[in-house]
Amino acid sequence: MSRSSASRSRSSQSTASWQDRLDETCREWQIAAPVFQIFSDRRGGRTAWSSRVTVHGAVHSARFCMSLNTELTRRLGITVPVVQGGMQHVGYAELASAVSNAGGLGTLTALIWPEPEGLRQEIRKCRKLTSRPFAVNITLLPALVPPDYAAYAQVVIDEGIKIVETAGNSPGPVIKKLKKAGCIVLHKCTTIRHAQSAIKLGVDFLSIDGFECAGHVGESDITNFILLSKARQTLSVPFIASGGFADGQSLAAALCLGACGVNMGTRFLCTVESPIHRNIKDEIVRAQETDTALLMRRWRNTTRLYRNKVTEAALKVEHESTTGEFAEIAPYVSGKRGREVFINGDPDYGVWTAGQVIGLIHDIPTCAELVERIEREAVDTLRDRLSTLVVRGSKL
């Protein structure tokens, strides 16, 4: 059965289950059962349903919209609680604007540009492509000669960007600068301890990154099922879930665990608007959830990467090195080679990040198709699937 056929089958089963439950209720109440016909389409970033109800031969029509209303959608002015996370070599205006136009939150990645002025031009380009909110990611990582993070933050402020995603080490000065300018800050964390520290800095949202995520996974190895539940129990600010999300069912699960949305990177990497070579997108579609590897754990800089020939060679060096010098592995993890992968289409040319969710990606949709599908699946799951699990019981 094709995916579209399967989707139609699930939709018809869902409608049928509604009708069955309605018929049962009407028999219990001894009234004539109406007949429902339900159709769905998209209106202004929301899923709209048209219904025709027949009662005693008379046809009545109605339209109603159902959308996901969370702290994230309300505060950020988006219609679907889905954030495209910052991604090096990927977070350009074309992708960010496509996600925002679809109703989610698109994100530009500041450090793609070696100088802050390049970010300024990309922000202006993105504004020409969308009138909807979008964010800028600023990630602070260890470096012998660190970038001028304050200058990148100043460009964000000067250009009137109101939403910023931050990540990495010692973000305090940058976060304080952004908050003073009135920005909404989403900070990414892999542990609850780091999240608590970020709250003290005044962040508005936390992006909780489970062990499943791509890139820097931290050193605690806590998966999202535990991490999100712990966040719900302990955090005093709203949080979104990151790592392992690709569809509406997982969004619904995150919402049930207390999150107000999800952050997706690898899933958006494999879309029509993603600025990477088609060969890499095809490689992602073919991949399984076991096709990632953890590198650089020896130096407490653990990173989840796609498992290819270069990654395997680097792992061998890491495990067999007698000196423990990072210089031995450095040629394998060159950022320049990783960037070339996305340009030349050779998945084995260098290392590149991918999350375990890679095993759940089976197509290359447009961002609009993807976000719409995620919203529809999440609404259907929360409305239909969960509603059938709680039934009225008789008194003992």
Element (H, E) at 208: strand 205-209
Q: Quick check: 335 and 310 in contact, CB under 8 A?
A: no
Q: Which pLDDT belongs to residue 385?
A: 85
Q: Which pLDDT belongs to residue 255?
A: 98
DSSP secondary structure string, 278-300?
HHHHHHHHH--TT-EEEE-GGGT
Domains and CATH numbers, the chain: 3-67 (3.30.160), 71-276+362-380 (3.20.20.70), 292-353 (no CATH)
The percentage of residues in the chain with a pLDDT greater than 70, rounded to a whole number, is 83
Most confident range (mean pLDDT) of 56-60, 61-65, 220-224 is 220-224
119 in helix, strand or coil? helix
Q: Which pLDDT belongs to residue 389?
A: 85
**How many residues in total does the chain contain?**
396
- For the ranges 4-8, 314-318, 369-373, the lowest mean pLDDT is seen at 4-8
Residue 15, pLDDT > 50, answer no
| Residue 144 neighbours by CB under 8 Å, 6+ apart | none
Give the global pTM.
0.83
Instruction: Extract the tokens encoding 338.
Output: 């990783």
Residue 42, pLDDT > 50, answer no
Residue 346, pLDDT > 50, answer yes
Q: Which pLDDT belongs to residue 36?
A: 44
Residue 18, pLDDT > 60, answer no
Question: Measured over all CA atoms, what is the biggest interatomic distance in the chain, rounded to whole angstroms?
Answer: 84
Q: How many C-beta atoms surround the C-beta of residue 249 within 10 A?
A: 17
Residue 367, pLDDT > 60, answer yes
pLDDT category at 91 given cuts 50, 70, 90 is very high
Terminal Cα distance for the chain, rounded: 45
Pick 41 or 148 by higher pLDDT. Answer: 148
Q: Quick check: 213 and 265 in contact, CB under 8 A?
A: yes
Residue type, position 81, single letter: P
Distance CA 349, CA 342 (A): 9
Q: Which pLDDT belongs to residue 62?
A: 46
What value does the mean pLDDT take over residues 47-51? 49
Q: For 167, left (φ over 0), alpha (ψ -120 to 50), or beta?
A: beta
Where are the strands (E) in 221-336, listed by range?
Answer: 239-242, 262-264, 292-295, 303-306
Pick 53 or 179 by higher pLDDT. Answer: 179
Of 287, 383, 385, 334, the closest CA to residue 40 belongs to 383
pLDDT category at 169 given cuts 50, 70, 90 is confident
What φ, ψ does residue 325 adopt, rounded to 5°?
-80, 130
pLDDT category at 61 given cuts 50, 70, 90 is very low
Q: Which pLDDT belongs to residue 116?
A: 98
Q: State the average pLDDT for the chain.
A: 88
Residue 383, pLDDT > 80, answer yes
Q: Which pLDDT belongs to residue 392?
A: 75
Q: Which pLDDT belongs to residue 43?
A: 44
Instruction: Extract the tokens encoding 147.
Output: 């970038």
pLDDT category at 93 given cuts 50, 70, 90 is very high
pLDDT category at 128 given cuts 50, 70, 90 is very high
pLDDT category at 317 given cuts 50, 70, 90 is very high
Residue 373, pLDDT > 50, answer yes
Distance CA 325, CA 247 (A): 41
Q: Which pLDDT belongs to residue 214?
A: 96
| Residue 314 neighbours by CB under 8 Å, 6+ apart | 295, 329, 332, 333, 351
Instruction: Extract the tokens encoding 145.
Output: 């000669």
pLDDT category at 111 given cuts 50, 70, 90 is very high
Query: How do residues 71-88 score in pLDDT, each as one tens digit?
Result: 999 999 999 999 999 999
Q: Quick check: 358 and 292 in contact, CB under 8 A?
A: yes
| Residue 130 neighbours by CB under 8 Å, 6+ apart | 96, 97, 100, 101, 106
Q: Which pLDDT belongs to residue 40?
A: 46
CA distances from 117 to 120, 123, 154, 182, 208 (A): 5, 10, 10, 21, 30
The percentage of residues in the chain with a pLDDT greater than 90, rounded to a whole number, is 75
Of 206, 236, 262, 222, the closest CA to residue 83 belongs to 262
Q: Which pLDDT belongs to residue 142?
A: 76
What value does the mean pLDDT take over residues 222-248? 98
Q: How many C-beta atoms surround the C-beta of residue 160 within 10 A?
A: 11
Q: Rg (Cα) of the chain, in Å, rounded?
A: 23
Pick 170 or 341 by higher pLDDT. Answer: 341
Q: Which pLDDT belongs to residue 336?
A: 87
Residue 8, pLDDT > 60, answer no
Q: Which pLDDT belongs to residue 17?
A: 54
Residue 25, pLDDT > 60, answer no
Name beta bridge partners: 320: none
